[in-house]
Chain A
Amino acid sequence: MDRTSVISDLNPIFQDVLDLPDLRLEPGSNAQSVEGWDSLAHVNLVVAIEKHYRIKFALGELQTLKNVGEMADLIKKKLGKQ
């Protein structure tokens, strides 16, 4: 699974959680550029992503991520280890 296909997986999750049906995620999308991606929405996004992939992010793993592209890389890495 490559970065682009993870991002296209993430797109409907972000659309649902943020209730933005027209949202299009880019590798560079981040909390500043995506409407409604505040700290509360972030918690919901993380839960939805964890449930979707049946993975669990370790403490601190998400803190250094700069954008959706890096998040996709981390998910890719975690899925590879399973």
Chain B
Amino acid sequence: MIDVRALPLEDLLRSRKRLLRELREQTSGGVPVRVAVLGGTTTNEVVDLLELLLVADGFVPSFYQSGYGRFYEDATFHVADVATFEPDLVYLHTHVTNISRFPSPDYDEAELEKRLSEELGRFQRIWQSIHTNVHCQIVQNNFEHPPFPLMGNLDSTAPGGHTRFVYELNRAFARHASAQRHLLIHDIHALAARVGLDRWFDWERWFSYKILTTPEASLALASSLASQVGALRGRARKCLILDLDNTLWGGVIGDDGVERLHIGNETALGEAYTAFQRYCLSLRDRGVLLAVCSKNDEAIARSGLAHPDSVLKAEHFSAFKANWDPKPDNIKQIASELNLGLDSFVFVDDNPAERALVRAQLPMVAVPEVGADVAQFRGAIQAGRYFEMAAVSKEDLGRAAAYQANRKRTAALSQFKEYGDYLDSLQMTGEIGPFRPVYLERIAQLINKTNQFNLTTRRYMLAEIEQIATDPRHITLYGRLVDVFGDNGVISVVIGRLEGQAVRVDLWIMSCRVLKRDMELAMLDALAQAAQAAGALELRGTYIPTSKNAMVADHYRSLGFEPDGSSWRLDLNGYSLRNRHIKVEGQWTEQALSAI
């Protein structure tokens, strides 16, 4: 497989068509994603690069592009054309040059306010029109710094300053996006700062072809967008695997001893390792799992984390492999312990030989070229955009704690003779009901990232889910599970569709965190009752095999469905409840059900 991200820009641009052809030959299947790009400049270069990156990431992208500069008209007057394309997301690729009118130098605060709300109104009309007519995710660029701040330093302060105007407008965009789930900001303000404004704008190409950015900037835009699309589709990485010696601390603990390690604020080197540990801990706080993969004796390795200056402690790691086995083997073990695919991992090791080995044997694992200088580790990890987020969800923030609780559950299991006794000891309470607005984000996330316990692997964008949730011809169910060790959050989703006298199950997914807990029985009970309440006589389900969902090949058979051609059916006449171990609350409780 070609690693396009490792290629220099020059090769990417020059050999793009061939690379695209070869990547397509190497990958089969892939997830379709339809992107409508409404631009304020010529968008082809960014779209060409985005296409290449998305194909490399396993997507099958298709694009709609507005005419040059016609983003406003396409989003409003001609929105029907965009809707006909049926995009999964509309990307508004606008720049600072698309601001219709900047304040005049003599403006006061009140005049600035007025101009601001006019300009904001223009974009709100765009978002509203797309939301109403296309019902899909919107990704909107914010604005980079103005290229020519006419007032110099005062430009960022004076009500008539262009820089001040961009700041205010970006702030207003952020407020709107934070309040509307279907609107996501693509932060080109940060992107342009990272590239450097002088290497961002390309005035020769602007005047010649109406391309505003340099090829470097176009690639930065495409990479950033590709990771945002990936995050929207639940493809962000979930776990950072770290080496120990010369990665989390300076020195080799087995040779130097714990007291000689470089960690803590005594030396410049120690301070750099502490800073890197802090960075890892911050990633954990926002939902990225941490794991150790180190060539060491386990007890010695753990003594390093017990060092008083070590910010990271053993309990921060969701998996811990310190032994002398090859690292790819250990990484595979970590993947199975955490129930995550190999494409969920980022591996950081100062040793180039270990990096090369993992890269060669486990190409799905991301291995950033971090080098051997701890001062560069953070930048190298950030540059990979591995942990992009499409929304901040409680599940993300609590993920590391949830995995910790799971380890306790596994320990508890070994104390029981009968599995049912174990399940009862968990004192499980389920909350099952039709989709509720407060859960929609989590539901979208679960739908787009669940690969194993997923009968049909159908993906839905948030906006689509919002629609289905209010459509009377659909039955939607979410399941949330609490037990004695903690709240697992929303971990199962079912979407059914009324089809004559049957309910067709379009989607049935469950998080692997709660496998073998009988949650699928509780969901079936709720589905059966909801279907009967809607007047249906039977349930129909299909299993669509993928490379990852073999786990549910027998799902319908084990639930008592009968084969019916390529699908499965369950007669609802005389349906008896299956769940014995979970106390269910919410709309489809036993009491509510018997009343139907």
Query: Which residues of A approach B to under 8 Å, CB–CB?
Result: 13, 16-19, 39-40, 43-44, 47-48, 51-52, 56-60, 62
Give the interface size class of chain B. 20 to 34
- Tell me which residues from 13 to 64 in chain B have a Cβ below 8 Å from any Cβ of chain A: 13-18, 21, 44-45, 48
Contact A43 B14 (CB under 8 A): no
Chain A interface, >50% SS class:
helix
How many Cβ-Cβ contacts under 8 Å join chain A to chain B? 45
Interface contact A47-B215, CB-CB below 8 Å: yes
With beta carbons under 8 angstroms apart, the residue of A19, A52, A56, A60 that contacts B17 is A19
Residue in chain A with minimal CB distance to B10: A51
**Contact with B18, one of A16, A47, A51, A57 (Cβ below 8 angstroms):** A16
Contacts of B10 in A (CB 8 A): 48, 51-52
Chain B 186-206 interface residues, beta-carbon cutoff 8 Å to A: 203-205
**Is A59 a contact of B208 with CB atoms below 8 Å?**
yes
Report A80 CB to chain B, min CB distance, Å: 21
User: Are A17 and B17 in contact (CB-based, < 8 A)?
Assistant: yes
Closest B residue, CB atoms, query A58: B204
**Bound complex: CA of A27 vs CA of B97, how far in Å?**
39
Chain A residues with Cβ below 8 Å from B17 are: 16-19
Nearest B residue (CB) for A43: B209
Interface: B211 (CB within 8 A):
yes
In the assembled complex, 26 residue pairs joining A and B whose CB atoms fall closer than 8 Å, in A order, are A13-B14, A16-B14, A16-B15, A16-B17, A16-B18, A17-B13, A17-B16, A18-B17, A19-B21, A39-B209, A40-B44, A43-B44, A44-B13, A44-B14, A44-B16, A47-B13, A48-B10, A48-B13, A51-B9, A52-B10, A56-B204, A58-B204, A59-B204, A59-B207, A59-B208, A60-B208
In the complex, A17→B45 CA distance in Å?
Answer: 13
Contact present for B204 and A17 (CB under 8 Å): no
* Residue from the set B13, B15, B45, B211 with the largest chain A CB neighbour count within 10 Å: B13
User: Chain B residues with Cβ under 8 A from A43's Cβ?
Assistant: 44-45, 205, 209, 211
A62 to B48, CA, bound (A): 23
Which chain B residues lie closer than 8 Å to A40 at the CB level?
A: 44
Q: Which B-chain residue is minimally distant from A50 (CB atoms)?
A: B215
Verify A17–B14 contact, CB threshold 8 A.
yes
Inter-chain contacts of B211 with A (CB < 8 A): 43
B596 to chain A, nearest CB (A): 61
Question: Of B205, B208, B215, which is in contact with the most chain A CB atoms at under 10 Å from its CB?
Answer: B208
The residue on A at minimum CB distance from B205 is A43
Known: A39-B209, A62-B208. 6 other contacts (CB 8 A): A16-B17, A19-B17, A44-B16, A59-B203, A59-B208, A60-B208
CA distance A44 to B13 in the complex (A): 7
Q: How far is the CA of A57 from the CA of B202 in the complex (A)?
A: 12
Residue of B nearest to A17 (CB): B14
Distance (Å) between the CB of B8 and the closest chain A CB? 9
Residues on A with C-beta less than 8 A from B9 are 51
- What is the minimal beta-carbon distance from A52 to any residue of chain B, in angstroms? 8
Q: How far is the CA of A26 from the CA of B45 in the complex (A)?
A: 27
| A48 in complex: contacting residue of B14, B48, B205, B209, CB < 8 Å | B14
Q: Cα distance A56–B205 when bound, in Å?
A: 11
Which of chain A's residues has its CB closest to B214's CB? A47
Q: Are A51 and B205 in contact (CB under 8 A)?
A: no
* Min C-beta distance of B436 to chain A, whole Å: 47
Please give the distance in Å from A45's CB to the nearest CB on chain B: 9
